[in-house]
Amino acid sequence: MLAIVACLSLSFAGPPAPALSLRAARPVVMTAREPPLAMTTRRATLAAGAVSLAGLAALPRSALADDNDDAMAKIAAKAMEKNEAVKQKAKAKVAKDMAAGKVEKENAGSNVLIAAVGAGSVLFSLPFFYKSVARLALKTSAIIKGEEYERRG
């Protein structure tokens, strides 16, 4: 449908506009001396549109669904084979490293490092909420002593 509309719109189009130049502009008019091709009569215009439509119809239909699906399935199968090979290679490397004890050596100080980072984050963020911590400590100590905690204005 789109091809038909495109062909018909092209067949009814006028001559292309002349290129701009530095000379004085001339008005674009159609003269009897030089009629544009395929625009002499309505019959010629429709014939040009029909020829264009026939040319489009003669083009090979390259986007057939069956061929496209088959090609996509082949590409997907090839990609899956490559991904499976990469996975197997990675699993073999991990198993080899586990057997050699390399993983335990690399992770030896990780617990200390995680504890240090956690403590540092609490220490560096304490200035932002120390008043809340002090108030909580005061309330907790009052509850432990059995006293009534009073809020000061």
Q: At 151, list the tokens.
A: 């809020």
pLDDT, tens only, 35-58: 555 556 777 778 878 888 877 777
> What pLDDT, in 10s, does the model give residues 86-98?
999 999 988 888 8
Q: Confirm if 12 and 45 have CB atoms less than 8 A apart.
A: yes
Please spell the DSSP secondary structure of 90-109, one letter per residue.
HHHHHHHHHHHTHHHHHTTT
Under the banding of pLDDT at 50, 70 and 90, the label for residue 118 is very high
So where are the chain's domains? 1-11+36-59, 65-108, 109-153
Tokens 């701009």 found at: 20
Q: Is the pLDDT of residue 106 over 70?
A: yes
Q: What is the pTM of this model?
A: 0.30
pLDDT bin (cut points 50, 70, 90) of residue 24 is low
Is residue 86 classed as helix, strand or coil in its secondary structure?
A: helix
CB within 8 Å of 148: residues ≥ 6 apart: 142
Which parts of 1-109 fold into alpha helices (H)?
A: 2-11, 42-58, 65-100, 102-106
Kindly state the percentage of the chain with pLDDT values over 90: 25
Question: Which among 11, 100, 90 is positioned nearest to 49, based on CA atoms?
Answer: 11
